[in-house]
Each structure stands twice: as structure tokens, then as C-alpha cells.
């Protein structure tokens, strides 16, 4: 086990008041949960008590990620992310709305933060940009060129690629939740076999999608059709922990085994205060109703995919 992972486990044990040997195996092995998506300082620590099998059921989706992702809980249900460069020394972060929580992890891991990427202008995602810039003068803050975002220094357009260390970050414009919303698609160009990372903000959630605050059902349908063209093993990291509620809604319109299995797993994970990220694009195509509009048209009484998208969003808003 690498020293940095062991240190993370010890910190976690302290927070959880849980002996190291009682941690689930999936948290201990260096190739498992902690290595690929480390859990840092949960807001309300709880002891583990569910079966290991339920927790590890979906962790095999993390096979060969292009970078280590550290998941940092923020506010009530937000997630910020730290993406560690393959060199193990540098990192960038996504949506650091509470900068000091992000930076405490950066310091603990002895990393150098090189950049900030923000998915959209809403305060619970961009509200930390100015403070981050004050703490680290000159740090580039990337965001959509189509959106007025606090603290942004580098605007990017759809398709722009930023190279940081051994990683490439591609901006994909996904206008609907906000008209300038960006999705960030991260790859390691030196090894195309590695799993890409997809930071979706408030556009795609596990089992759901964001509200159409500035866009329409047509826009969200276009987004889903665009996203489904990416690699199916892409690891999806969304902006909020909404998974259980999303899947409960999904089960009201689609009682498939895939929805049921994922909901049982998500409920078990949340009972232990574990995050349900990441998912994969391939998984979302199985149980996310907003990615299955063609299949669900009849079930929601619509004859077109855009009609189904509109109806599903209306139903979810009332759920």
C-alpha cells in the first residue's frame, strides 16, 4: 500500500472512529476505492455496517482511470474534485466552491494546485473562484466563454483543449441548466486505453439530469445525444449527491432490474456516508431515464423523444 493512501485511510479512521482492520476491503486495497476516488472528510461521519458486497458491487467500474480523482464533499450535497496528475505532484480542481476544504486536501497530499476548472456560474460551483485566486495569486480559472462567471481568467469554447502535465482537458459546451454550462472531458494522451473522466457539473447526475433553468427539453436531448458518443467506460463525476432520489424517481417510470440494483447499491452507500460517484456513461445508458427517452416514450405517454424529455423533467420537478 502506498504511503499516501495509508495516510488517507488513517485520517478516515480517525474521522470515522473506526479501527483500520474493520474498514471494508474495497477501501483498503490500493487499486480500489480510495486510489481511484478518495473520500475526504465526510460531513457527517458514520460507521460502516452494511455488507461489503453491496459497496464493492459497482467499484469494479474503476478499472484503469487516466488520473486519480479525490472527491471532496462541499456544503450540504455538493462535490468538488481534485484531479491528480500522473506525476503524483501536481493537480487541478473542479468546482472548488469551498476553497479551504480543497486546499486542505492539497496540502495533506503535498500537491501543487495548477488550475481551477468551473462548470458553470451558479454560486455553489463558482463561489470559491475569487477566494482561490486570492490564496493562490495567478492561478488560472477556466470556465465557459459563454457565461459571466466570478473569478474566471481563461474563457474556453466548445472543443477547446487545455494541456496540464500529462492530461488533456477538453471543454464540451452543454447549454441547458445554464446556457454557458461546460462539461470537462479528461484524457491521458500518452495512454489511450485509460478510462477518461467526465466532470458533468449540474448537467448529468447519476440517474438524472439538471433542471432546465435556462434551456429547453430540446437542448437537453441534444446534450444526451452528444454525450452518448463518448467512450462507454468514461467515469462520470457529477456536481451533487442526488443519486438515491434520482433513482427513486427513475423506478416510478422504469422498473427494470438495472434501476433496482443501482438504487439498492446507492442506498447502501449513502447509509455509510459514502459517495455514489463515479458512474460510467455505459451505466447511465442503462438506468438514467433522461438518457433513455427513446425507450420510455410510451411509458410517459409521449410520441417523440423531446416530448418524453420534457415530460420526464416535469414529472421529476414534481417528485
The string of pLDDT tens digits covering residues 269-282 is 999 999 999 999 99
The string of pLDDT tens digits covering residues 36-48 is 334 444 333 222 2
The string of pLDDT tens digits covering residues 162-187 is 999 999 999 999 999 999 999 999 99
Prior bond of 86 cis (ω within 30°): no
The string of pLDDT tens digits covering residues 53-82 is 444 455 579 999 999 999 999 999 999 999
Q: What are phi and psi of 307, to 5 degrees?
A: -65, -40
How far apart, in whole angstroms, are the C-alpha atoms of residue 158 and residue 171? 6
Which of these is catalytic: 85, 90, 177, 254? Answer: 177
pLDDT value of residue 59: 59
The string of pLDDT tens digits covering residues 115-162 is 999 999 999 999 999 999 999 999 999 999 999 999 999 999 999 999
188-202 mean pLDDT: 98
202 labelled catalytic: yes
pLDDT value of residue 58: 58
- In this structure, are residues 137 and 113 in contact, taking their beta carbons and an 8 Å threshold? no
177 labelled catalytic: yes
How far apart, in whole angstroms, are the C-alpha atoms of residue 92 and residue 90? 7
pLDDT value of residue 60: 79
Which of these is catalytic: 120, 181, 233, 254? Answer: 120
Q: Could you give the domains of the chain?
A: 3-318 (3.60.15.10)
CA atoms within 13 Å, Cβ hemisphere of 213 = 13
pTM of this prediction? 0.84
104-121 mean pLDDT: 98
* pLDDT-above-70 percentage for the chain: 82
240 labelled catalytic: yes
Which of these is catalytic: 85, 125, 181, 233? Answer: 125
Which of these is catalytic: 122, 181, 233, 254? Answer: 122
pLDDT value of residue 94: 99
> Between 243-253 and 257-271, two packed helices, what is the crossing angle to 10 degrees?
160
160 labelled catalytic: no
Which of these is catalytic: 85, 95, 202, 254? Answer: 202
Which of these is catalytic: 124, 181, 233, 254? Answer: 124
Amino acid at each position: 500500500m502506498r504511503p499516501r493512501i495509508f495516510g488517507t485511510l488513517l485520517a478516515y479512521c480517525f474521522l470515522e472512529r473506526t479501527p483500520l482492520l474493520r474498514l471494508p476491503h474495497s477501501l483498503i486495497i490500493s487499486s480500489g476505492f480510495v486510489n481511484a476516488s478518495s473520500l475526504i472528510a465526510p460531513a457527517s461521519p458514520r460507521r460502516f455496517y452494511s455488507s461489503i458486497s453491496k459497496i464493492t458491487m459497482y467499484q469494479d467500474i474503476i478499472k484503469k482511470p487516466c488520473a486519480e480523482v479525490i472527491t471532496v464533499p462541499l456544503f450540504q450535497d455538493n462535490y468538488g474534485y481534485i484531479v491528480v496528475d500522473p506525476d503524483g505532484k501536481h493537480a487541478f480542481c473542479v468546482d472548488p466552491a469551498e476553497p479551504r476544504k480543497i486546499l486542505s486536501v492539497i496540502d495533506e497530499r503535498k500537491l501543487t494546485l495548477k488550475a481551477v476548472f468551473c462548470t458553470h456560474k451558479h454560486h455553489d460551483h463558482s463561489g470559491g473562484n475569487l477566494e482561490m485566486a486570492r490564496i493562490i495569486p495567478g492561478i488560472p480559472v477556466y470556465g465557459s466563454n459563454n457565461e459571466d462567471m466570478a473569478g474566471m481568467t481563461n474563457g474556453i469554447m466548445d472543443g477547446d483543449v487545455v494541456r496540464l502535465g500529462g492530461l488533456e482537458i477538453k471543454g464540451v459546451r452543454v447549454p441547458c441548466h445554464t446556457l454557458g454550462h461546460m462539461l470537462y472531458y479528461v484524457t491521458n494522451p500518452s495512454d489511450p486505453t485509460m478510462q477518461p473522466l467526465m466532470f458533468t457539473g449540474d448537467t448529468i447526475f447519476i440517474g438524472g439530469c439538471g433542471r432546465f433553468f435556462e434551456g429547453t427539453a430540446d437542448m437537453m436531448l441534444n446534450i444526451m445525444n452528444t454525450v452518448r458518443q463518448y467512450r462507454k467506460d468514461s467515469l462520470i463525476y457529477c456536481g451533487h449527491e442526488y443519486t438515491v432520489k434520482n433513482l427513486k424517481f427513475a423506478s416510478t417510470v422504469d422498473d427494470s432490474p438495472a434501476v433496482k440494483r443501482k438504487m439498492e447499491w446507492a442506498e447502501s452507500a449513502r447509509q455509510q456516508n459514502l459517495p455514489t460517484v463515479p458512474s460510467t456513461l455505459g451505466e447511465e445508458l442503462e438506468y438514467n431515464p433522461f438518457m433513455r427517452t427513446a425507450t420510455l416514450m410510451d411509458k410517459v405517454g409521449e410520441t417523440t423523444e423531446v416530448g418524453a424529455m420534457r415530460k420526464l423533467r416535469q414529472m421529476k420537478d414534481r417528485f
